[in-house]
Amino acid sequence: METLHIIGGGMAGSEAAWQAASMGVPVVLHEMRPKVGTFAHQSGNFAEMVCSNSFRSDDDERNAVGLLHWEMRAAGGLIMQMADRHQLPAGGALAVDREAFAEAVTAALRSHPLISFAEGEITELPREGHWIIATGPLTSGALAESIRTETGAESLAFFDAIAPIVYAESIDMDVVWRQSRYDKGETEEEQKAYLNCPMTKPQYEAFIDAILAAEKTEFHEGETAGYFDGCLPIEVMAERGRETLRYGPMKPIGLTNAHQPDVKPYAVVQLRRDNALGTLYNIVGFQTKMKYGAQTSVFRMIPGLENASFARLGGIHRNTFLNSPTLLDDRMRLRTRPGLRFAGQITGVEGYVESAAMGLLAGRMAAAGLLGRDLPPPPPETAMGSLIHHITGGAEAKTFQPMNVNFGLFPPIDAKGGRRGRKDRYKAYTDRAKDAFRAWLAQ
């Protein structure tokens, strides 16, 4: 039996190792800590939680994250098993004792007879064998450079410049209209690729005032040097002059308001479709360091977004991730090097649970391959399936950014609108997903 090598002992690498070993495949787990540290990690334990100690909502009936918890439990996931064992009171969320949790994951992996360990840094992509790279957002500089050399300079990002993403169903289409600037495009779909939110001069002035007054997070060392020239946060643009945004991402030229053709907007906020399903739209050019609470209130000042529901809020921070839609196949293999799989945050998912889920899939798929079988991804109707579909082809490659699991990634379900309708619709999503995931597991 050939051996599966896994680089990185975070959420994804730990889960991948557990899944592959549980299928009878010998695993070597490579981890550079504690020999080589990072600025975020405090220990040499596997699955160390470096930010929050929360796995977020545990509601598997009306929440996409809770559904992902359910799927990982159903698949015998180590991360969820140890999270449940070391749970802390947190209302409807799943929070854990982070030290006890990491120690338990480490003990479980070290006690498995098919898992062995190699300490020290791996500085370049291996040329032979079967590997999963699960090195996360803090991939070491040498290995990141090797990945960049293999995939192309434009295919590996070292920063998130994240624009907020809005659920399409929460946009007021009585205010917003569809049009590409100057009606560019050869097809009607291309000519109407953007949603446009018009602003009057008073609305624009109030919006600028709100941006300037909003609470912001600080930049960390190394986040600003030589980076923001082509990707400035909106608050930095506003600080450079009150009209800067109106000549940047909010320029009104080339656009005619379909609802009021004779009224020229003073400024326009554009939204661009963010997934193939058309359920998510990102606010173009609106990367920001505003705190999350401030973002919600400021962005709801935009006409048409007064009742906006956000799948993701904006941000800018250091993060290493692949342009996975162009690089990975649906088995999470590098298209140019099928012996290499990627898993976790480096693939462009965000969050502990999402990272572990991609590790679970990569571990199972790699093990199946070594056992002479092919394991397809879960259906897109499932939480895991929606994530892997998004990162390996459902997302727009040109605007690809890390994403949490959310119902906007799932194939839509027809249901009546309103708050009551939304609750019923979410339950329909999770019921459908559980049936599909059970059928996938039965394979």
432, containing H or E segment: helix 418-442
Altogether, the residues listed in the chain come to a count of: 443
pLDDT, tens digit (0-9, with 9 covering 90-100), for 236-284? 899 999 999 999 999 999 999 999 999 999 999 999 887 778 898 889 8
Task: Please give the residue that has the higher pLDDT: either 313 or 410.
Answer: 410
pLDDT, tens digit (0-9, with 9 covering 90-100), for 415-430? 655 555 777 899 999 9
User: What pLDDT is recorded for position 250?
Assistant: 96
Q: Is 27 helix (H, G, I), strand (E, B) or coil?
A: strand
Average pLDDT, the chain: 89
User: What pLDDT is recorded for position 15?
Assistant: 98
Burial 392-416 (b: 16+ CB within 10 A, else e): bebbeeeebbbbbbbbbbbeeeebe
pLDDT, tens digit (0-9, with 9 covering 90-100), for 357-390? 999 999 999 999 999 999 999 999 999 999 999 9
User: What pLDDT is recorded for position 226?
Assistant: 35
Averaged pLDDT for residues 280-308: 93
pLDDT, tens digit (0-9, with 9 covering 90-100), for 30-83? 998 766 655 445 577 999 987 667 898 999 999 999 999 999 999 999 999 999
Averaged pLDDT for residues 2-26: 97
Averaged pLDDT for residues 81-100: 85
Taking the C-alpha atoms of residue 206 and residue 61, their distance in angstroms, rounded to an integer, is 40
User: What pLDDT is recorded for position 223?
Assistant: 46
Task: Please give the residue that has the higher pLDDT: either 303 or 313.
Answer: 303
User: What pLDDT is recorded for position 415?
Assistant: 60
Averaged pLDDT for residues 135-159: 83
Task: Please give the residue that has the higher pLDDT: either 378 or 153.
Answer: 378
Question: What are the DSSP calls for 34-55, one per residue?
Answer: TTS--SS--SS-TT---S-SEE
User: What pLDDT is recorded for position 95?
Assistant: 81
Q: Is 126 helix (H, G, I), strand (E, B) or coil?
A: coil
Question: What are the DSSP calls for 229-265, one per residue?
Answer: GGS--HHHHHHT-TTTGGGTTT--TT---SS-TTS--
| pLDDT classification of 225: cutoffs 50, 70, 90 | very low
Compute φ and ψ for 430, nearest 5 degrees.
Answer: -70, -35
User: What pLDDT is recorded for position 230?
Assistant: 47
What percentage of the chain carries pLDDT values higher than 70? 91
